[in-house]
Amino acid sequence: MLKYIFKRILQAIPLLFIISIICFTLIQLAPYDAVDAMTTPNMTKETVELIKARYGLDRPAYLQYFYWVKGIIGGEWGYSIVTHESITNDLSARIPNTILLVLPAYILALFFSIILGLLAGANKGKLADKIIDGLSSFGIAIPSFWMAMILVFIFGHRLNIFPILGMHTIGNEESFFDLLSHMVLPCTVLMLSFIPELVRYVRSSAIGQLSEDYVMVQQAYGANPTSIVFKHVLRNVLLPIITIVGMSLPMLVTGAVVTETVFGWPGIGTYFVKAIQGFDYPVVMAIMLLSASLVIIGNLVSDILYSIVDPRIKGMGE
Amino acid sequence: MSDNVKDKNSLLDVKNLRTSFYNGNSKTEVVRGIDFTVQKGEILGIVGESGSGKSILVKSILGIIPSNAKVDAGEIILDGKNFESLSKKEKRAIRGRDIAMIFQDPMTALNPLKKAGDHLVELLIRVRGMNKKEAKLEAVELLRMVGIPSPETRVNQYPHEFSGGMRQRVLIAMALACNPKLLIADEPTTALDVTIQAQILELLKKLQQENNMSVVFITHDLGVVATICSRILVMYAGMVMEEGLAHEIFYSPKHPYTKALLNSIPRVDGEKTRLKPIKGTAPSLQSIKSGCPFAERCEHAMEKCFMEVPEYKNFSATQKSMCFLAGEEDRLDD
């Protein structure tokens, strides 16, 4: 068991390196010169060269890569070339904000999805299923920025019960209740954007499980339908969801770009968008690397969780 | 058989059972008016080709047919209780108490995330009203009874740690846990290899005698039937073609289908003869025509056979056959 986990972690390391190379290469291939972000057209050639030298941009790409990776391993992610702030500081200030938004939304979405998905799956073809399945198709088709605007219009403008911008009311930074009321709308938007796909996943998984032989066997032995769903089917349905949850780990960082932008939430999303607009390549690279690494880590975590929860995999390592 | 006289010895009485699959507007009848009785303490074999409706027949009795199927008609009386008068809940209570069932594929019949023992424990608590501790001890005992070695460790293992034969034993243990009056075994040995098959049959026979259960044994394998059944029902296209005691079916079959089936089994004793397969395939029940369902494949079919369904003819107190020619031996044997 531990051997398996250790093996999986070792396997993840080369992957992370490959990802860093891809991130770096993509930025190098982008059709602009990084130095453009710091120069103005009327600077002399010498000045531009000087700036280039100062940021190490005159060195060959492999050396630049080497220094970048070295910095990251040492916990130093570099500086924004636009604001000259430390990226490490910026990220550590903003990631918690994004997590604060995404995590509750995701947990709530997961909770509702499991209930709705099971309900739909257990009543396949009946009214409840048609309503839930229909609404999820609808939900998948709705862009989240549109949903955000509609909610802003109804709850922020017409009913005027929730704030629509930022994290805190100015002068009221310490109030938890104030924070909560700022969270309601963006969290709802995120939740509504997570739910439809999760519901569909749970539903199809439940339908698959309910047509398994062991369910019929339980019926033949007189188990009532509710206890079949909760005692037998539920765990089998939840198992594959571990994968989905693991894969969603990167969303903790980049899952709310659109929603954060609409609601002016000071998280990674707004930071990322600003960096792209300002050709702030170290920031873009850092966020790309971060979210790509989280994909790998998410996979790793779900694999490990799987091996703990599923007896069929647990036994295999031994 | 005398239909109207209340047979004191009968455990299960099924009359005119009809089950259909519904697909949109089309209806396919797969169980087409079946009557049969299961006596107390007997092993009744139901034989038929794949798709003859054997499984659906017993699943209809148990009420575990797929959601797109429906029992259209029929009377089921178990030990004096008419199913029609029972509520859904009472019917559920019969399953697992009075009737238990063993399934065809032991590989998929157990929940992969539940320990073998937990399957039994759950059942013992529900059906026999035991507490958890008693149920655990009893589960070990049951596993021992069905011949699983070192049941104390096996009880805590997951289904994937068992072989097919061992899983089937676990399922048999589940059936025994219920102390049923009637055990339905739906091709319990089909998915197992031959040596394991023999062990499982031996076990079923032994347990049947020890517990004085009645068993309905479904199979397409006449060899299996010969080993354990005392009475046989031959099914074809959702109907009973012939019914009789085992020796009647094997030594003096009256229906051309039964004869054809027997001719298609390879014999290992004595004379070497060519196998005579039955020509054609079992009819699709979606395009069933009037007349005897076997007529199209029958060597002796007459014009009449395509027009109307023959009546049952009785040959003894125990044997009856659904054929116009049945009993006219000379005409059947040419």
- Residues A26-58: pLDDT tens digits? 888 877 777 777 777 788 888 888 888 877 777
Most confident option among A78-82, A133-137, B260-264: A133-137
Q: Does the pLDDT value for residue A69 go beyond 50?
A: yes
Q: What is the pLDDT of residue B4?
A: 43
Q: What is the pLDDT of residue A318?
A: 47
Residues A31 and A150 in one domain: no
Residues of B in contact with A214 (CB under 8 A): 108-112
Q: Do A213 and B103 touch (CB under 8 A)?
A: yes
Q: Is residue A81 part of a domain?
A: no
Say how far apart CA A302 and CA A27 lie, in whole Å.
30
Q: Does the pLDDT value for residue B289 go beyond 60?
A: yes
Q: Do A232 and B114 touch (CB under 8 A)?
A: yes
CA distance A226 to chain B (A): 13
Q: Is residue A79 part of a domain?
A: no
CA distance A91 to chain B (A): 41
Q: Does the pLDDT value for residue A242 go beyond 50?
A: yes
Q: Is residue A143 part of a domain?
A: yes
Q: What is the pLDDT of residue B18?
A: 92
pLDDT band at A316 (very low <50, low <70, confident <90, very high): low
pLDDT tens sequence across B213-262: 999 999 988 888 888 899 999 999 899 999 999 999 999 888 989 988 88
Residue B178: closest CA among B136, B103, B128, B104: B128
Q: Does the pLDDT value for residue A317 go beyond 60?
A: no
Q: Do B109 and A232 touch (CB under 8 A)?
A: no
Say how far apart CA B168 and CA B176 lie, in whole Å.
12
Residues A185 and A66 in one domain: no
Can you name the residues that pair with B314 across neighbouring β-strands?
Answer: B320
Structure-block tokens of residue B292? 């005897």
Q: Does the pLDDT value for residue B277 go beyond 90?
A: no
DSSP β-ladder status, B182-186 and B99-102 = parallel
Q: Does the pLDDT value for residue B131 go beyond 70?
A: yes
Q: Is the ipTM of this complex over 0.90?
A: no
pLDDT tens sequence across B188-226: 888 788 888 888 888 889 889 988 899 999 998 888 888
Residues A161 and A107 in one domain: yes
Residues A59 and A198 in one domain: no
Residues A145 and A234 in one domain: yes
Output the CA torsion sign for A186, A189, A191, A194: negative
Q: What is the DSSP string of A25-72?
A: HHHHHSSS-GGGGT--TTS-HHHHHHHHHHTTTTS-HHHHHHHHHHHH
Count structural domains, chain A.
Answer: 2
Q: Is residue A186 part of a domain?
A: yes
Q: Is residue A231 part of a domain?
A: yes
Residues of A in contact with B178 (CB under 8 A): 221
Q: What is the pLDDT of residue A109?
A: 94
Q: Does the pLDDT value for residue B5 go beyond 60?
A: no
CA distance A195 to chain B (A): 26
Residues A122 and A195 in one domain: yes
Q: Is residue A87 part of a domain?
A: no
Range of the domain at A61: 2-73
Residues of B in contact with A232 (CB under 8 A): 111, 114
Q: What is the pLDDT of residue B333?
A: 54
Residues A12 and A105 in one domain: no
Residues A305 and A217 in one domain: yes
Q: Do A214 and B109 touch (CB under 8 A)?
A: yes
The last residue of a domain, from among A43, A73, A103: A73
Nearest CA in chain A to B125: A223
Residues A152 and A11 in one domain: no
Ranges A52-56, A241-245, A284-288, B318-322: which has the least confidence = A52-56
Residues A64 and A187 in one domain: no
Best of B62, B64, B65, B97 to disrupt the A interface (most A CBs within 10 Å) is B64
Q: Do B95 and A219 touch (CB under 8 A)?
A: yes
Task: Report helix, strand or coil for B243.
Answer: strand
Q: Is residue A82 part of a domain?
A: no
Q: Do B109 and A222 touch (CB under 8 A)?
A: no
Q: What is the mean pLDDT of chain B?
A: 86
CA distance B130 to chain A (A): 16
The last residue of a domain, from among A24, A42, A73: A73
A209: domain CATH number?
A: 1.10.3720.10
The last residue of a domain, from among A17, A40, A73: A73
Q: Is residue A78 part of a domain?
A: no
Mean predicted confidence (pLDDT) in B160-187:
90
Q: Does the pLDDT value for residue B332 go beyond 50?
A: yes
Residues of B in contact with A310 (CB under 8 A): 113
| Top-confidence residue, A11 or B269 | A11
Residues A284 and A170 in one domain: yes
Say how far apart CA B52 and CA B186 lie, in whole Å.
13
Residues A99 and A65 in one domain: no
